[in-house]
Amino acid sequence: MRIGIVSLDALGDQVIRTGFVRACHEFRPDAELTMICTGKTAEFWRICPWLGCVVEVDKAGNIAPSFDLVLNPRPAPDYYGASAFIAVNKPKSHIGFDVVPLARPLEPAWLAPYRLLEQLGYRGERYKPEIDVKAQDGFRSGVQLIAVGIGAGVPHKIWTTHFFAQALSEIDKAGKFGFILLGNKSDRNDSLHLPDWPSLIWDLVGNTSILGMASILKRCSLFIGNDSAPKHIAAALGVPVVEVAWINCPDRRLDYDRVFGPIGVPFKIVRPEKVFTYDETLAGDAVRSISVERVIEAARSLLPR
């Protein structure tokens, strides 16, 4: 039996589905389980022990096999073309979230896909996201490492970079921390050269692969950052998380984005204190309103004493 999982959205969405993929394997251990993804996330899925194959649909010449069953685990609007893939592939059967049931109570995004398997008869464990990588060597011993995710997939989720610098410098006053900056090449900006940063810092923004970032995060005592893929990778590795959140808005169009908190680890979510409109939120006003002091307080509450 050939089973395909269509997962074409962002890396953070992919990370929280790792437990679901494990459940798929346990539900049908005799099936050939294939992940259909983009080239941006294929590296991540190739280390997954429960997959038999990874197909990058955005590479010329890569043609996915015909499937007996295709699962579309994204419980939100199909902005990424999963339905189009299913229509072209014509599997014998498929199951997914064709309509987002906004009237139902919100559930964590990592749990929603299990409803697909349970429709098919699965009654096993709902596994939380998990990643298995080796910790990166080469960092100075004798200091606690704190990873800092300065970027995000869209600008309205990004806290101001010089705010991060101020927060880290205050946290570092005890002088026992090393900080690792993480992000994509697009996250690099002039603020990375400000004098406010702590003295012991590794600037790896735009200079790590997905797996390289994961191996670095595994060495860390804490992650501080925006709502982004590194946040989810850190949590899947068991690293406590301080999330600088971007939503304090009642608009229902943001409902899906509310259910992406860190999973399975100690965490603090620092939200905007006042309520913002939908337009203000997407302009970045909400995330930029968060004070440096509140992020420092959240970080100190999670650091080992």
For residue range 182-204, what is the model confidence (pLDDT) as tens digits?
998 888 876 667 667 877 888 89
Q: What's the fold here for domain 2-119?
A: Rossmann fold (3.40.50)
pLDDT exceeds cutoff 60 at 143: yes
Same CATH topology for 2-119 and 144-302?
A: yes
- Whether 122 has a pLDDT exceeding 50, the answer reads yes
pLDDT bin (cut points 50, 70, 90) of residue 28 is very high
* Confidence at residue 140, expressed as pLDDT on a 0 to 100 scale: 60
* pLDDT tens digits, 236-275: 999 999 999 999 999 988 888 888 889 999 999 999 999 9
Q: What is the dihedral of CA 123, 257, 239, 204, to 10 degrees?
A: 130
Long-range contact list for 199-207, CB < 8 A, 24+ apart?
Answer: 199/172, 200/140, 200/143, 200/172, 201/168, 202/139, 202/178, 204/180, 205/150, 205/151, 205/181
- Residues contacting residue 189 through CB under 8 Å, at least 6 positions apart: 161
What is the CATH T-level fold of the domain 144-302, as seen in this structure?
Rossmann fold (3.40.50)
Q: Is the pTM of this model over 0.85?
A: yes
Four-point Cα dihedral 281, 288, 232, 117, nearest 10: -10
Residue 304's pLDDT is: 78
**Whole-angstrom Cα distance, residue 46 to residue 35?**
9
Looking at this protein, which amino acid is placed at residue 97? F
Domain ranges of the chain: 2-119, 144-302
pLDDT at 138: 64
What percent of the chain clears pLDDT 90, i.e. is strictly above it? 63
Query: 136 pLDDT exceeds 70?
Result: no
Taking 50 as the threshold, does the pLDDT of residue 85 lie above it?
yes
Confidence of residue 103 (pLDDT cuts 50, 70, 90): very low
Q: What is the pLDDT of residue 141?
A: 61
Q: Chain-wide mean pLDDT for the chain?
A: 89
Q: What is the DSSP secondary structure assignment for residue 47, as one 8-state letter?
A: T
Mean per-residue pLDDT for 280-288?
A: 97
Q: What confidence score (pLDDT) does residue 61 get?
A: 61
**Local structure of 176: helix, strand or coil:** coil
Could you tell me which of 135, 139, 131, 158 has the C-alpha nearest to residue 21? Answer: 131
Least confident of 102-111, 130-139, 219-228: 102-111
Residue 23 sits at φ, ψ, to 5 deg, of: -65, -40
Higher pLDDT: 185 or 122? It is 122
CA nearest neighbour of 64 among 28, 96, 29, 90: 90
pLDDT reading at 77 higher than 60: yes
Alpha helix positions (H), the chain: 11-15, 18-27, 39-45, 82-89, 114-119, 161-171, 210-217, 229-236, 278-282, 285-288, 292-302
pLDDT-based confidence at 87, cuts 50/70/90?
confident
